[in-house]
Amino acid sequence: MSRTNPPADRRAKAAAREIDAGAVMNHRQILFVIFGLMAGMFLSALDQTIVGTSIRTISDDLDGLSLQAWVTTAYLIMSTISTPIYGKLSDIFGRRPLFIIAISIFLVGSLLASLSTSMFELAAFRAIQGLGAGGLMALPLTIMGDMLAPRERAKYQGYFLAVFGISSVIGPLIGGLFAGADQILFITGWRWVFLLNVPIGIVALFIVLRFLHLPKGAKRAVRIDWWGAATVIIALVPLLLVAEEGRDWGWGSAGAIACYVIGAIGVIAFIIIERAMKDDALIPLKLFRSPTFSMATVLGVLVGFGMFGALLTIPLYLQLVTGATPTESGFLMLPLIVGLMIASITSGQIISRTGKYRAFPIIGTGLMSAGFFYFTFVTADKPVWYLMIGMLLIGLGIGQLMQTLTIASQNSVGLRDMGVATSASTFFRQIGGTLGTAVLFSVLFTRIPTTIQAAFADPAIAKGVATAAADPAVAADPANTQILDLLKQGQDGNTGALTGSLNGDTSFLNAADPRLADPFLVGFANATVTVFWVALAASLLAFVLSWFFKTPPLRAKSALQEAADDDAALNAQVAAGEMGALVAPDVSTHSVPVQRPADQRE
């Protein structure tokens, strides 16, 4: 007759209950965690949309439209570099403390940015913001990957889409209102674009501290890949720098060549270090053995390139060419946001129900390509509704890609690599966005001199300018003074004054006589079309590659559930071994059960 061991049985049951309470989260717990994640995501998403529609006013006030690429590029460089670092450190120290640190750094950067007195200062402070934003972008996706199975994640995506949608709608409007106000409480209006982050960030910190509590995973010895972090900086910064400054230095200049060489050395050193660090690497090279992860990464880079190019170029076009105010440009971007939300919700629900997602990268990249191709027909005299159709197409495309590629990356790796795979996916998408910003703005301002000169050479435009310049009423209007001075300099042989006019304060164009402003607006519109052609090329390449995207079935369990099942099985084996030893205590014929050390039990 077998004997039982009540203490051992109770220990096994207690361990199982602890796993259920700590590693597997119920619906209520998941909602509280999502509440904390949304707070941080709202902070990051709102900042991006506010700055996007107010950057022209900011650059006009600080006298440096051409330097705005530095502001956006500095932010994206730092957020890109810090993203995989947050992912790796969160695997070691936990998601919650890293998320709190990210919010705190972001708030410090926001406060400093509000005190900027030049575009260079603003770029430096935006870099600090980017250092925090890297965590705000990567960690929510990583935490979601821990909590929810790939198929189940779609059930909760509506909460995140609501945050993104709300911030995308109200961000441009609030940014426009701030940018359009001379002063608010004795502070220049646009500075509130950054000051607004402070109270929101404090609220976000409170919510995260109060509600964001996650199960603690098993501890394991890990090396921190500091050399990998250093070499990725050495690789990226010079290449992005030459992308920004290459048009002024000359693409074959000594400075440009130095950047190419340093960047190449950084890339090679990074690969060597990551190979040596193996599983502890910042971005383990073994991830790329999965064809799904590799293709999702390439598509993420291309999608990021086109997405950031659209989000930064279109508002600038609306304000400069159509004369929209920052607030109006926020309203006019609604078709892109609506398309993104519709596509994300629809694709998410289909993925949740069917577990299949292969069609969405194909359809998404196809719609993106169609949208950018549509924009290549834009001219300065096209109505605003024409632009809104192109925005809707691009939004419908992006909405099917952002979540799908992340889910595919997470689904392609094992439990141990969930965090680093998620951060790597975000990292490469950010690289695409950073390169897109630098390259597309570089193309834009490289083309502007040529397109403005071509516009002045157009007989119809030249006749309109001459007629307006000869009109005494036009000459007497103070709003035309600056543009008439530019035209006079051009007649005296200083063509650089004409082509360089869009590098500083451009507000005079909207107030001047339309006939005088016409060549500048036509030139800018034609330069922007070149940008759309470049974005179209990237989108078409993504469309072709998407047909070769392998999509294995989505897992039905979350990372935490898989870990809980493994631990439950191990505890069951331990309990069974203890009871078996009591039934047959003769150690000469039975093996002794091996128990997990106390510090490794959940």
Domains in the chain: boundaries:
20-218+555-585, 226-281, 288-554
Helix (H, G, I), strand (E, B) or coil at 212: coil
Q: Do domains 20-218+555-585 and 288-554 have the same CATH topology?
A: yes
Give the C-alpha separation, 445 to 524, whole Å.
9
pTM, rounded to two decimals: 0.75
CATH topology of domain 288-554: Growth Hormone; Chain: A; (1.20.1250)
Per-residue exposure over 21-58, b if at least 16 CB sit within 10 Å of its own CB, e if not: ebbbbeeebbeebbebbbbbbbbbbbbbbbbbbbbbbb
Give the pLDDT score at 601.
Answer: 33
CA 161 to CA 39: how far, in whole Å? 13
10-residue averages of pLDDT along the chain (602 residues): 48 43 61 78 77 74 68 77 82 83 92 86 89 85 75 66 68 76 79 86 82 64 78 82 70 85 92 86 84 90 81 80 74 83 82 83 93 91 90 89 82 73 80 78 81 82 80 76 71 52 60 79 87 91 92 70 67 66 46 38 33
Cα gap 428→81, rounded to integer Å: 10
d(CA 355, CA 370): 27
Q: In terms of Cα–Cα distance, which of 41, 43, 67 is closest to 55?
A: 67
427: left (phi over 0), alpha (psi -120 to 50) or beta: alpha
CB 469 within 8 A of CB 484: yes
pLDDT, residue 415, reads 66
Pick among 3.90.550.10, 3.40.30.10, 3.90.1180.10, 1.20.1250.20: CATH of 20-218+555-585:
1.20.1250.20
Produce one character per residue of 354-382: b if its CB has 16 or more CB atoms within 10 Å, e if not: ebebeebbbbbbbbbbbbbbbbeebebee
Q: Bin 63: left if φ > 0, else alpha if -120 < ψ < 50, else beta.
A: left
566 and 217 in contact (C-beta within 8 Å)? no
Residue 170 is predicted with a pLDDT of 75
